[in-house]
Structure 1
């Protein structure tokens, strides 16, 4: 519902500004109604715990990537369209639309746009 505790509280305030309240029903038999101060406090605490867990997970992920890089095990995701670059440029040079090119090659339109942009700006 929100990316951070502050974001969640801002959403709750926008709901309250419309003379409504947020009611969360899936709390293990309990419900939280943000019109109630105790429920609002519980929601804030749960959001803070969730944000902390997310931060810890990201920290562990960064540490794992750093260890993998130091052991030359982490290369990142291989570029999807590198092997299809020539086919993409050929299709575009033959006046095929970007959407059709992406559909025929089974790749995203964003990838086709990026290849076209890189070629146009001389990065390829």
Structure 2
């Protein structure tokens, strides 16, 4: 049985030292670290760790969100860890290290993580619902403008404004939408929207 740590930071985060300190306190023998920038989804160290782990290993992370950026990614990583017969220990969740029976500890650990994921997903749904309600209320008061259109006559991007004018010109000449889409490299749905506005 080996205790293996996993840490992930983006270029914007400054908590690498904190994660390392927490993992060292948890007495991990090896740490895999991914440094990501922006929306980079490539996590080579996570992949290497998933290949490295063996049955009865314990994977330790400071927080559940270190394993992925969303519920789907986290669930996928958790499933891969379980498939290898390893367990997952998340340091900001209740510890089950005092339970001697491996099967019981694994079962309770998985239950806690599933509850945590369920709670996080519910929070996201509630945020989306409140946002939807806020938009509806703003629409009722005629204050909601929506996201500005990328291709329009009043677009802030000069190139997109010129492209919009070119689309309108081509539509007036009855140029097929598929041809306009290919020539200007604009999605057909965008061209349909512009056509329907006229």
TM-score range, shorter chain: 0.5 to 0.7
Q: 1:59 offset after TM fit, Å?
A: 1.0
The answer (yes or no) to whether the contact 1:32–1:39 under 8 Å persists in 2 is yes
Residue in 1 that maps onto 2:33: none
| Alpha-carbon separation, structure 2, partners of 1:82 and 1:9 | 41
1:50-74 C-alpha deviation (Å, 9 max, x unpaired): 1111111111111111110111110
* CA spacing shift, 1:57–1:66, aligned 2, 3 Å: same
Query: Does residue 189 of structure 2 align to residue 114 of structure 1?
Result: no
Q: 1:118 offset after TM fit, Å?
A: 5.1
Query: Does residue 124 of structure 2 align to residue 24 of structure 1?
Result: no
Structure 1, unmatched stretches of 5+, are 91-111
Indicate the structure with greater strand content: 2
The secondary structure found in structure 2 opposite 1:82 is coil
Indicate the structure with greater helix content: 1
CA RMSD of superposed structures (Å): 3.8
State the number of aligned residues: 98
TM-score, reference length from structure 1? 0.55
Structure 2, unmatched stretches of 5+, are 1-67, 98-104, 166-183
Query: Does residue 71 of structure 2 align to residue 3 of structure 1?
Result: yes
The secondary structure found in structure 2 opposite 1:22 is strand
